[in-house]
Each structure stands twice: as structure tokens, then as C-alpha cells.
Structure 1
Amino acid sequence: MNSQSVKHISECFVNPHHVSEESQQPLYLAPSDLVMLSVHYIQKGLLFAKPPEAMDRRHKAEFVNSLLDRLKHSLSLALVHFYPLAGRLATKKEENPPLYLVYVDCSNSPGARFIYATLDASVSNILSPTDVPLVVQSFFDHDRAVNHHGHTASLLTVQVTELVDGIFIGLSMNHCLGDGTSFWHFFNTWSELFQAITQGVHDNTIVPGISRPPVLKRWFPDGHGPIISLPYTNPDEFIGRFEAPELRERMFHFSSESIAKLKAKANSESNATKISSFQSLSALLWRSITRARRLPSNQSTRCGLAANTRARLDPPLSGDYFGNSIHPIISEAVAAGELLQQGLWWAAWKLHEAVVKLDDREIRGFLDAWLQSPTVCLIDQFFDPYMVMMGSSPRFNMYGIEFGMGKAVALRSGCANKFGGNVSSYEGRESGSIDLGVCLPPDAMSALECDEEFMEFASVPQYY
């Protein structure tokens, strides 16, 4: 099975159900959005098992056609509330005074892209292999595209891939428009509207209200915005082409009991109560991956966590702020030998200290420095071969998303923003559990699979 096995059957563009007055105005990007111009799109999706009626050959076409129609209609309703996703990026350049302004143009776009594809494979073909099969990468649009491509490519693409006994719904969203919080906010809202039209609780001619309207107005530090000029004259000056080295990607499962045991171990070793479950889990990954890499004892290594900064600002941003409000929390660099010699608690406490340190003052200090000298993040410069980076979050509501096929069987992501030592954290299917998608070079992954400390807490996900 390879990526060529996926066949695109049809595609179209979906526009908001109706055009709002606000969507006719430019949406100016904030500093945390602009820094994303050269990183990849966010690519996450859910795998559903087909209901029994869809397995009957007589009703298969009817089921798929009905599903696609309802997905498109509910998407058009969701885009009314999240209209920037139907737009395109645009750049305004001037020489005197110098200006290089990237913004979202919602009035000159064909809309969000919608693809229907098929793959002659079963759900078990996707979930049974030890490693995530490469074909999963072709369940998403914008393969290896960076966000700047949103000038000509859609800012959002939905790809519905029909398997023999399942449906994969993959979203590819431009990271300049929002972070993981924003991505899953949109995904959940789309699901909410899909269920509303399926249950026939609203008139198709109107747009129903939603439980969590997004806050689209961009937040800028005091005295700045909404127009922020970048110090460039041409995109070639800041657009990189990152190509990941050979990697294996595996899913590991941590039950709620395993996580509780890990947290208790970290806190008891340190005679503390402040170390969180996720800090304990991240410390385990940091130590285990460092050991699997077989680093020299004097090689420095760090661990990073992607932090949502909405609640850390003073005053805080709304939890429904739609945009980028994230900041990497990076531990202090420590020698690999010391990291492994000390206990789990030591690594967890290093992460705890870094988390506590990230407050309103530090966030604003970073933004002030960026505004003095704006830069665009390049993946290859951010990539540290000795680092472990914990991305995404198990706090996102992923398995509450439904599209008339019951609870999803599993979650998967595309190839975007992956490098050795990249770990994606997901809500587990069972309450309180966590699934981790770990990317490592083949030799390091083989060593991790044999790591006693790691495998004491990790297990292979059971999807059925």
C-alpha cells in the first residue's frame, strides 16, 4: 500500500452559507500568526467505522452521497462563523515608506477546498501496522506546503477518504489562521452543525447559532497593530523548504491508571505535589528518547512543550480566541548523562519550573522583542536533533466530534511539522487516557521500543 493508492474522485470549493459584512474587510495577522508563515499547515483527522447500513452494496452509494452533501452543507454553515478559513492570504508591498504586509483577504477567494477520495483498504490496514503507514499522509491536502502558500492554495481543505469499511475525515488548516486550540474549536463546531442539520433542528435557509462563537478579532500588544510590516521585499527571503529525515512514526497509549502512576512516581520522588500528569509524561519521553538516541553523556539536551497562552496573558484572552496564542516552553539545557542519572522527578521538575516561568511578563517580553526585529520561524532552524518537542494537547476535545457514524475509532495526523524527537499528544479514546504519536529515526525508535522504563507505562493502542 502506498500514497498512490488514494484516488481523488471529486473536488469542489465550499463558501460560507452567506457573506457577512465583516468578511469583506481584510483580516490583519498578529505577530504570533505572522511568525508561522514558513511552517507547515496543521493536518489532523479522525477515522470512523462505517455504520452497518453503509456496508450493504445496495445502500453504499446512497450513504456516501448523503454524507458528502451533509458535510458540505454543515461546512458552509461553519464557515459563516469562521469566515477567514474560506479566504486567501494576500501581500501588500510598498517602497516609500517601506511596507510588506501579509493579511487574509476573504472577499477574493473560491472558498475552502473539499475533496472526496477513495482507498481500497480497510480500517485495520491503517491501524494494525506497528508504524503509522505512509499512506496516511495522503489523507490530507497541502502535502509539505508551508503557510505562505495560502496566497494561492486554500487556507482550509477537508478531505473525505472512503475506505472499504471506514471514512477518514482529514482537515488541513493554514497555521497562520490559528493554533491547535483554534483548529479543534473549528472541527468541533463543524460537528455540532452537522448534527443539527442531521437531526433537522433548523431551517436550511438560516445559519443556526453555535455553542462557542469564535473571537476573530486579532489581539495585538499595546500600542501595536493592526498593520505590522515585515522586514522583507520578497518571500524567498523567509520561506524555507524543510524535508524531514527518514523517520518512523508510532502511536503509544497511556491509560488513565498508567498516567496516575507516573504522576505519583514523579511527585513522591521529589517530595512534591505540584508536578502535573503531563509534566510527568513529558519527562518520561524526554528521558526515554534521550536514552534511545544513545547520546554522549556530555551532550546537552532540552525538552519543549507547546503552551496555550490565552489564560497566561493579563488580562487573559478568551478561550475561544481564534488565532495563534501559543509559545514554546523550553526547559534549560542539561547534559544527557545527568538527565539519565537523575530520577524521573528531576526531569519533571525541570519542566515544571519552565512552565511556571511562562507568564504575562515573559510572553509580552518575547512579543516586544519580536516587534523590534520581526522574523519568521523556519522549521529546520527550530529543529534540534537532541531535543524532544511535545506538541498538540490531550486537552483538546477530539473524540467528541461525530458525523453520524458514532465515536471515531482513531486519530491520525499528516506529515506536517514532523522531525526526529517530535511527539504529538492526543486525547485517548478512553476517558483520562492519552495517545502519543512519536517520530524518531529507525534506530532510535527500535531502542525506544525496548526501553524498560518507557514500556512500563506505555502500551499498544487497542482500537476495538
Structure 2
Amino acid sequence: MSVEQDVKVVESCMVTPSEETPRKGLWISPIDLTWATRGHTPTVHLYLPGSGPVDGFFDVPRLKAALAKALVAFYPLAGRLGMDSNGRAEIDCTGEGALFVVALSDLTVEDFSKLKPSRELKRLFIPRVEDYSPPLMCGLQVNFLKGGGVAIGMTLHHTSADAMSAFHFLQTWAAFSRDAAAAAALELPCHERTLLRPRSPPVVHPDALTVFCPRVGKSEPPGAVENVIFVLSKDQVDAIKRACTGRADGGRVSSFCAVSAHVWRCLCVARQLPADATTRLTFPANIRRSLRPPLPDTYFGNGIVMLGAVAKVQDIVCSDELASVAGRIRDVIRRMDDELVRSVIDHLEMAGSQTFMPSGRMPVTELKVVSWRGMPVYDADFGWGKPVAMHRAVQPHGGIICLIDDDGGSMRIVLSAEPGIVKDFERLLHAKF
């Protein structure tokens, strides 16, 4: 498929906030800084015309007016990535606006449903924010599909927001599109990023860095990546949890710990890693409730730190050790308290640019699990019904698994890995316990 053949851009403009917003350099936390070189996070939501009122289905003037209102509250997204007088990255709140693109696609809803996260999907449905300097914070593209249906492509610079913050913004834009009352019911974002300011003097607790993972191994040159979506039914998720506890009700292990343990094992086996090799699972953990006092749930920015568990491959793949693997992950999560998070922030501030996450491919011994479970992934109703599908448009490299809630308590597993191991991974993923 060629972009020129399948997508025709009919409008491209900057949508600015509908009211005056603060014009300033917004200080960003040491956690935000770790994402400064990682660029934008692209996601796509699919909407069907039969899922809500069809009058004016995704009316463009209505969407633009709603976006202008949403950008008043989320004014950093109307800015640009800049530098302060000391050469430290910041968000330059200029009010210049977010990129808004309207496109017509030759693809149908059926064609879209066959697409997996890929560079192709990104090219087709995500606006080209890479063409702008200084970097934009936000780009949005409304793609009208042939025969009905709309795909909303959104890309936010990772310095500006983590997944929870991104979905908060999307919900707000959608609420303004529905009606003012819906928007008024949403909580406003908190832009006080100094809540994550390092301590003076900085103090790094000696145990904090044993579970904190600022880097995911030594980056390797990019290689071929296959992106595949699998679904675990609710019964399969429950069976995995029972395997981690030996109890009929799944016991006291979370779905995240249980499924992460299972996919870690599956990937180690599919990759045929040596038994004595050291493998590591890393994952972004939400710190909002771990701090004392807690961060507001509406904190807008990056409220995540990378945690990790390390083990020998033989300890992960042993047939009777799934409960132990889940326990390793659970123990790491339990250690995340105010002192650990504050130590991480202090460490990041002292390390400076050395903490920037590398690009390229992770070693085959590494796995990163990103969970969007429990987030309002499907709550962005613009007035014509909720989305019927959502996923990230592209994964940057192999060795990543994304967990997303699906219908009826099932779970979608979005795998990005080297092509040769996908079939074995699928067989192991769906093996009976």
C-alpha cells in the first residue's frame, strides 16, 4: 500500500486554544527528561457509524472547536519542546497550537481491522509531526474510511504525557465534542510538575536502584520486527492466575503479575535462550499513589518509573515455577514507595543526560511489558459512540508486549518481536495449564 494511494490529506492546520493560556517555559521533571529523546507516542482509535447517532458523523468544525476548548486546560500540548537558559529541556508554552489533519482513506473498516501496529499503520493514520522543528507536543488526524468509519490518530510527545495523561486529554477533547456538560464533569489536569522536583540535597537510597531500570540493556542496531495481536479470554487469564497461586479463585495475585510472568516465560522459551543466561523484565509503574502525599490522579505529565525483575532463564522457564516468577514481579511492585520514587527522581537529576533511554533494539534477553489495563482506553466518545478498537500505531522495536483490556474481561496481548519466534510464542501463550 502506498500512502499517496490510500490516504489523501484534505486539511492540515494548527488549532490554537480558544482562550488565552499561560505563556511560559514549563519546567519538566527528571522523569519527563528521560523521555525527551524518545519522540512521540502514536495511537489509533476506530469508530463505526453504527455505534452512535449518525448526524454529522465526526463533523470537522465541531471537532476543531472542541479541540480548541480542550487545549485551554491542556495548554502544554499547544506548545513546543524547548530549552531553558541553562540548556535544560522544557515545554515552551507558546499557544501555537496542536497539529490537526483531516484525511480521506481508500481503506475500509475491514482493511483497517487487518492492520497491526506497524510503520505502515503509522504512515497511514498518524500526522507527520516529524516535519516540524522545534518539536510539536501534539498531533491529531481524523481519517474518514471508505464506506464509513473513522480512525482517529493521536501522537503526543512523550515528554508531555504518559499514557494515563494522554487518555485524560483524549477524554476531554471527546467530552467537549459531545456537550459542555460532559466536559464540565471531567476533572481538570494538574500541571504542577514541581511536585516531582528532586530533593535538596539529593538522597539516593541504596536499595532503590536494585529494582529501578533507567536503561533497558545496551541498545543494538534495529532489526526486523513483527507485530501481532493475540487475545487471552477471561477463562485463560483466570487459569494463568490459578497457576500462580494453586487456588481455584486465582488467589492474591494480580492479572498483571500473572500474565506478565506467563509472557516472560513464553518469550524466553520461544527465543531459545540459554538456561544460564540472565534475563530481565521491565515495566513502567504508575507512581501517582505511591508518593506521600500522593500525586493527584489528574497529574499531567510522566508519572511513571521503570522497574524491573532479573533472573536466570532456567528459573523463569521451569514448569513448576510460574508462581515464583509472578512473585518476583509482585515483590518489585510492592517495593515502590515514596522513598524509592524520591530516590529515583534524585538519581535521574544527578545522572542528567546519561539517563536518556537509548533507541535501537533491546537484547533478546530483555522484555518490556507495558500495561494500559484499567485506563479509559475506550471511553473517548465524541458524540457518535465509543471506539470499537484501539491500539498503538507502531512499536519502536522488538521485545515489547502491551496489555490492553478487551471485551468481557479478556485481554489483548500486542507483541512486537523478531519474526522467527512469533509462532512458538503463540503456541506457548495459549498452552493449557
Whether these two folds match at TM > 0.5 is: yes
Q: Note the 1:4-403 alignment, pairs <5 A.
A: 4=4, 5-20=6-21, 23-51=22-50, 63=56, 67-93=59-85, 99-107=86-94, 109-128=95-114, 131-132=116-117, 134-138=119-123, 139-142=125-128, 152-164=134-146, 165-196=148-179, 209-218=184-193, 219-221=195-197, 223=199, 244-268=222-246, 273-332=251-310, 334-341=311-318, 342-375=320-353, 376-380=355-359, 383-403=362-382
Mapped to 2, the partners of 1:7 and 1:224 lie a distance apart of 53
Q: CA deviation at 1:134?
A: 4.8
Match of 1:205 in 2: none
Match of 2:206 in 1: none
CA shift in 2, pair 1:242/1:211, >3 Å: farther
1:17-65: CA deviation from partner (whole Å, max 9, x where unpaired): 1013xx123211111111111113121121111349999xxxxxx946x
1:356-394: CA deviation from partner (whole Å, max 9, x where unpaired): 112211111122222222124233378332111111421
Mapped to 2, the partners of 1:306 and 1:45 lie a distance apart of 21
| Partner amino acid, structure 1, of 2:19 | H
8 A contact 2:74–2:169 mirrored in 1: yes
8 A contact 2:161–2:302 mirrored in 1: yes
8 A contact 2:109–2:149 mirrored in 1: yes
1:59-114: CA deviation from partner (whole Å, max 9, x where unpaired): xxx946x6111111111111111011001122134xxxxx223222223x531000
Q: CA deviation at 1:441?
A: 0.9
Mapped to 2, the partners of 1:381 and 1:368 lie a distance apart of 27
RMSD of equivalent CA atoms: 2.9
| Partner amino acid, structure 2, of 1:174 | H
Runs of 4+ displaced beyond 6 Å: 52-55, 269-272
SS class of match (1:380): coil
Mapped to 2, the partners of 1:363 and 1:150 lie a distance apart of 34
8 A contact 2:117–2:394 mirrored in 1: no
8 A contact 1:189–1:210 mirrored in 2: no
Q: After the TM superposition, which of the residue ranges 379-388 and 156-165 deviates more from structure 2? A: 379-388
Q: After the TM superposition, which of the residue ranges 438-447 and 266-275 deviates more from structure 2? A: 266-275
| Partner amino acid, structure 1, of 2:363 | D
Q: CA deviation at 1:433?
A: 2.6
Mapped to 2, the partners of 1:371 and 1:152 lie a distance apart of 24
1:297-344: CA deviation from partner (whole Å, max 9, x where unpaired): 222111112100010111111111001110112002x22223111432
Q: Please, which runs of 5 or more residues in structure 2 have no aligned partner?
A: 202-218
| Partner amino acid, structure 2, of 1:339 | I
Mapped to 2, the partners of 1:379 and 1:307 lie a distance apart of 19
| Partner amino acid, structure 2, of 1:309 | I
Mapped to 2, the partners of 1:124 and 1:337 lie a distance apart of 43
Mapped to 2, the partners of 1:175 and 1:299 lie a distance apart of 32
TM-score, L = length of structure 2: 0.87
Q: CA deviation at 1:455?
A: 1.2
8 A contact 1:2–1:134 mirrored in 2: no
Q: Please, which runs of 5 or more residues in structure 1 have no aligned partner?
A: 56-61, 94-98, 203-207, 226-240, 459-464
Mapped to 2, the partners of 1:457 and 1:118 lie a distance apart of 44
Mapped to 1, the partners of 2:34 and 2:402 lie a distance apart of 21
| Partner amino acid, structure 2, of 1:221 | R
TM-score, L = length of structure 1: 0.81
1:166-218: CA deviation from partner (whole Å, max 9, x where unpaired): 21001100111111111111111111111115xxx69xxxxx63421111111
| Partner amino acid, structure 2, of 1:41 | H
Mapped to 1, the partners of 2:366 and 2:231 lie a distance apart of 22
